[in-house]
Structure 1
């Protein structure tokens, strides 16, 4: 176990920059998991995920029984570097207000180029266009994993799926579904072997009048402006969520939850128009 006491240590500076820079995360194909739950979720994901690049533990964290157990697990990985740092150094690295005492630097899972995925291999999935808020994106990923969505496709201008805030909001769901970043959603829609429903406030058909028992791709748009005209035209049909109240619209993540769990209900109990 290596000890770091200086806030100016090169690796400390690297981890701080990695927390803040989407460009560095992309270039290095790495990100940081902050907290026991996220790291445990990553370690239990199994196949397809490599051992953590490093584990960083604070002085206070070494007194936590869960962290000690997690550390014992990580000692089994010969390529994982373990660092013990002072509480002051850990506070500089961590992006949360109340640091948990442990974080990990991991390799972002590599995924198949979506343009090479055979249409027949795609099951239920969601396409996200221009989702800007990392918290929204993380909540959407968590909801999609709970609904057993196989693939999530993000347009090039979506928030970073592997940012600390997105990871915290998703609470480990990143490791339960496949996330494709920087996608050409029009191409994904073109090759999807199933029906494509785009959500819009002025949609043609109500969600609950739509048969979702077949392979379905939902398309969700930007929190403020919704979907682009090109994506709306790429869909087989536009649908809306009935809102009898006086609220103008639902939060993007809430819309995703309503749509996906109506699909779950129909695929389990059947569709009745």
Structure 2
């Protein structure tokens, strides 16, 4: 284990930039996974990180020592930080004291959509994006395509909300969704509060591409007109509409119900 004790260390300054800047994460192609659950999920599903960063006090916690032990037995890189330095990097208040530095996958669209997938059009709230990724993974969907205006999927807030879903999904970012929809080999279903067809009346036993839009404006008009179906989720009460992440979860699990 290597230890850094100075705030002026170049490697430490790099960690601070990654923690606090989305631009730095995008430019470097790296991000930080903060917390035991994310680190354990990455180890199980993806393998070794570029580096493990651990706080001094966390080394007394059994769950952290188990992770560090696994890494050291496989000769992975582990960096120790005094608590004050670690807490300046961590974005989690009262966190456990362990994080992974990882490379973020870069994927280009090379083939049309042929399986059930999720298309996110300009979703800007990281919590919503992460929740949708988590629900998609739980429902057995493996492909997610994001427009350029959608929140960066590998940001700390999205990662925490998704709870490890990233590691079982193929995530494509900065995608031309119009081109993707026009070439899709499966039906495209867009949710809209103005649709006349209800979700529960649509046959979902075949693969579909789910299209969800901006939290306030919904799916862009050009994309909406290209969709095979526009559906609405019926609801009672005086609430105008569902949160987009809740809407996505209802859609995914209605499809799962029908296919089962």
TM-score bracket, normalised by the shorter chain, equals over 0.9
In the alignment, does 2:155 pair up with 1:158?
no
In the alignment, does 2:225 pair up with 1:225?
no
- Aligned partner (choices 150, 167, 170) of residue 175 of structure 1: 167
Q: Write out per-residue CA displacement over residues 193-249 of structure 1, whole angstroms, 9 at most, x where no aligned residue.
A: 111111000013000011111111110000001011111011011110001221111
Task: Give the Cα–Cα distance (whole angstroms) in 2 for the partners of residues 244 and 226 of structure 1.
Answer: 20
Task: Give the Cα–Cα distance (whole angstroms) in 2 for the partners of residues 261 and 160 of structure 1.
Answer: 25
In the alignment, does 2:96 pair up with 1:96?
no
Task: Give the Cα–Cα distance (whole angstroms) in 1 for the partners of residues 153 and 73 of structure 2.
Answer: 29
- Aligned partner (choices 179, 190, 201) of residue 187 of structure 1: 179
2:82 aligned residue? 86
- Unaligned residue ranges in structure 2 (runs of 5+): none
What pairs with 1:102-117 in structure 2 (closer than 5 Å)? Answer: 102-111=98-107, 113-114=108-109, 116-117=110-111
2:205 aligned residue? 213
Shift of 1:77: 4.1
Q: Write out per-residue CA displacement over residues 81-111 of structure 1, whole angstroms, 9 at most, x where no aligned residue.
A: 2111101011111011112111110011233
- Unaligned residue ranges in structure 1 (runs of 5+): 269-273
Shift of 1:118: 4.3
What pairs with 1:112-123 in structure 2 (closer than 5 Å)? Answer: 113-114=108-109, 116-119=110-113, 122-123=114-115
Task: Give the Cα–Cα distance (whole angstroms) in 1 for the partners of residues 105 and 39 of structure 2.
Answer: 14
C-alpha contact (below 8 Å) 1:7/1:92 kept by paired residues = no
Instruction: Name the SS of the counterpart of 1:169 in structure 2.
Output: helix
Task: Give the Cα–Cα distance (whole angstroms) in 2 for the partners of residues 76 and 195 of structure 1.
Answer: 48
Task: Give the Cα–Cα distance (whole angstroms) in 1 for the partners of residues 60 and 69 of structure 2.
Answer: 14
Moved over 4 A (4+): none
2:61 aligned residue? 64
Task: Give the Cα–Cα distance (whole angstroms) in 2 for the partners of residues 40 and 110 of structure 1.
Answer: 22
Instruction: Name the SS of the counterpart of 2:173 in structure 1.
Output: strand
C-alpha contact (below 8 Å) 1:193/1:215 kept by paired residues = no
In the alignment, does 2:25 pair up with 1:31?
no
1:146 aligned residue? 138
Q: Write out per-residue CA displacement over residues 42-65 of structure 1, whole angstroms, 9 at most, x where no aligned residue.
A: 11114xx6x211111111110011
What pairs with 1:8-23 in structure 2 (closer than 5 Å)? Answer: 8-23=8-23
Shift of 1:13: 1.6
In the alignment, does 2:7 pair up with 1:7?
yes
C-alpha contact (below 8 Å) 1:204/1:237 kept by paired residues = no
Instruction: Name the SS of the counterpart of 2:32 in structure 1.
Output: strand
- Aligned partner (choices 232, 241, 249) of residue 233 of structure 2: 241
2:128 aligned residue? 136
What pairs with 1:254-273 in structure 2 (closer than 5 Å)? Answer: 254-268=246-260
Instruction: Name the SS of the counterpart of 2:152 in structure 1.
Output: coil
Task: Give the Cα–Cα distance (whole angstroms) in 1 for the partners of residues 172 and 78 of structure 2.
Answer: 30
Task: Give the Cα–Cα distance (whole angstroms) in 1 for the partners of residues 254 and 210 of structure 2.
Answer: 12
